[in-house]
Amino acid sequence: MSFAALWESLLPVGRDGGTGGYRRFSWTPADAECRRWFFTAAEERHLRADTDRNGNLWAWWDPPGIVDPGAGPGAVVTGSHLDSVPDGGAFDGPLGVVTAFAAIDLLRERGVAPSRPLAVAAFCEEEGARFGVACLGSRLLAGAIGPDRARGLRDRDGTTFAEAMTAAGRDPAAIGPDPGLVAGIAAYVELHIEQGRALADTDAAIGVAERIWPHGRWRLTFTGRADHAGTTRLGDRRDPMLACAAAILAARGAAARQGAMATVGKVIAEPGAVNAISSSVTAWLDARAPDEAHLHSVVERVLAQARAAATAQGVGLDASQESVTPAVDFDAALRDRLVATLAAAGIPAPVLPTGAGHDAGVLAARVPAGMLFVRNPTGVSHSPAEHAEPGDCATGVTALAAVLADLACS
């Protein structure tokens, strides 16, 4: 099956008819449909598919003639994720998974077979859209988050990760680090749509990742006093929304001063009445910076200003860190090898840093990892408008096939 047919078969899954955006949240019916799609794609290719203890999906192309794939040379793994942010685009995640299957098709068409295990992976809850911690499946696999903490993470309705897993027929008691699986991986290469415009005005359809900025998420809950919007004198109010608004503006100011990024993209006001002062407002701060010193300086400044605003408004503030991912410098030898392989295939690929988080960044702490980016003409991502041209996706398949041939088939 060509890239286009495989891509089309996934497109309707979890797409909202109104916005055109994707709502593929872990352990929901849309997620189950994505998982079925993965198993079908694997089955059509006679790949050995399974779900690991942490809910990540794997489709293995075992090297011909090797009876015990676990005992031979380390595996080369490619893939990405199938979950989305709320109203996300079609490409962030799925492009890496569809391209991986299409690259296997291309290798087979060329009569190329692996000399070591080659796997396509789709990691669980990469976006953290339902349970708050990004790259949860790869973090669990790599031991970058404790299983108890992961089991207890709650979604917006109070359902825990453990409960959601159980409802989906998986065993949450089994989650946690999987050193055996990790030890069997010789390299992980993730192809991803570029989430910026570094390639947009160049002749290059493909880039190679250099590093990922350190980034993290913080939850700020401002607690005030619910009261009547029409009768409570302004001076008598304890309005948490005002302190939250000050914190949001502080985030923008701190990011601008420090050459960083800081975003509040999610705010929940309780009880959420138009004609009442809120009793509480929770805001999530996403902060990213070129280095850890700048990241922590941005967050400290935002928290200091949030505390000052809370005091001024007479409201409480509870601030907690939900996740932090340190800076990732991708394996230099693998990165240079990717660039050289692509150059030999006639695909010039500039080396780019990124502010976006990826499972490859988490796995980089345990195995040599690298990334290929596919050009995004507008740079828009985490939006229904996210797009890559079909010709660039085709180049992505060719590029990934060249990389897999070099790493797994030589």
Which parts of this chain interact with Mn ion (CB under 5 A)? 92-93
| Secondary structure element (H or E) that encloses residue 167, with its range | helix 161-167
Q: With binding defined as CB under 6 A, does residue 134 bind ligand GLV?
A: yes
* Pairwise CA distance, residues 165 & 148, whole Å: 14
Q: Which is nearer to ligand GLV, 124 or 401 (CB)?
A: 124
Q: With binding defined as CB under 6 A, does residue 90 bind ligand GLV?
A: no
Which residues, in sequence order, are bridge partners of residue 220? 283, 319
Instruction: Write down the least CB distance from residue 124 to ligand GLV, Å.
Output: 14
Instruction: Write down the least CB distance from residue 131 to Mn ion, Å.
Output: 15
Q: Give residue number: closest CB to Mn ion.
A: 92
Instruction: Write down the least CB distance from residue 379 to Mn ion, Å.
Output: 14
Q: Which is nearer to Mn ion, 37 or 91 (CB)?
A: 91
* Residue in 38, 27, 37, 81 with CA at minimum distance from that of residue 60: 38
Look up tokens 């790599």; give the residue: 142
> Beta strands 351-354 and 206-212: pairing type?
parallel
Q: Which is nearer to Mn ion, 93 or 214 (CB)?
A: 93
Residue 13 contact among Mn ion, ligand GLV, none, beta carbon within 5 to 8 Å by kind:
none
Q: Which is nearer to Mn ion, 54 or 221 (CB)?
A: 54
Instruction: Write down the least CB distance from residue 127 to ligand GLV, Å.
Output: 6
Instruction: Write down the least CB distance from residue 384 to ligand GLV, Å.
Output: 15
Cα torsion at 175, 176, 181, 185 (round to 10°)? 120
Instruction: Write down the least CB distance from residue 396 to Mn ion, Å.
Output: 14
Size of the site for ligand GLV (CB under 6 A): 4
Residue 93 contact among ligand GLV, Mn ion, none, beta carbon within 5 to 8 Å by kind:
Mn ion
* Pairwise CA distance, residues 55 & 60, whole Å: 16
Contacts of 387 (CB under 8 A, 6+ apart): 89, 91, 376, 377, 378, 380
Residue 357 contact among Mn ion, ligand GLV, none, beta carbon within 5 to 8 Å by kind:
ligand GLV
Q: 260 in helix, strand or coil?
A: coil
Residue 134 contact among ligand GLV, Mn ion, none, beta carbon within 5 to 8 Å by kind:
ligand GLV
Neighbours of 271 (CB within 10 A): 9
Which residues, in sequence order, are bridge partners of residue 276? 228
Q: Which is nearer to ligand GLV, 78 or 195 (CB)?
A: 195
Sequence-distant contacts of 66-72: CB under 8 A, at least 24 apart = 66/117, 69/117, 70/180, 70/184, 72/116, 72/117
Residue 55 contact among Mn ion, ligand GLV, none, beta carbon within 5 to 8 Å by kind:
none
Q: Which is nearer to Mn ion, 209 or 244 (CB)?
A: 209
User: Among 356, 388, 400, 404, which residue sits at the site for ligand GLV (rule: CB under 6 A)?
Assistant: 356
Q: Which of residues 112-131 bind ligand GLV (CB under 6 A)?
A: 127
Instruction: Write down the least CB distance from residue 358 to Mn ion, Å.
Output: 6
Instruction: Write down the least CB distance from residue 213 to ligand GLV, Å.
Output: 9
Q: With binding defined as CB under 6 A, does residue 94 bind ligand GLV?
A: no
Q: Which is nearer to ligand GLV, 162 or 356 (CB)?
A: 356
- DSSP code per residue over 178-210: -HHHHHTEEEEEEEEE-SSSTTTTSS-SEEEEE
Instruction: Write down the least CB distance from residue 127 to Mn ion, Å.
Output: 5
Dihedral over Cα of 107, 113, 114, 120: its sign: positive
Q: Which is nearer to Mn ion, 178 or 194 (CB)?
A: 194
**89: exposed, middle or buried (C-beta count within 10 Å: 0-12, 13-18, 19+)?**
buried
Q: 240 in helix, strand or coil?
A: helix
Q: With binding defined as CB under 6 A, does residue 357 bind ligand GLV?
A: yes
Residue 396 contact among Mn ion, ligand GLV, none, beta carbon within 5 to 8 Å by kind:
none
- The length of the chain is 410
Q: With binding defined as CB under 6 A, does residue 209 bind ligand GLV?
A: no
* Pairwise CA distance, residues 181 & 26, whole Å: 22
Instruction: Write down the least CB distance from residue 269 to ligand GLV, Å.
Output: 23
List interacting residues with ligand GLV (CB under 6 A).
127, 134, 356-357
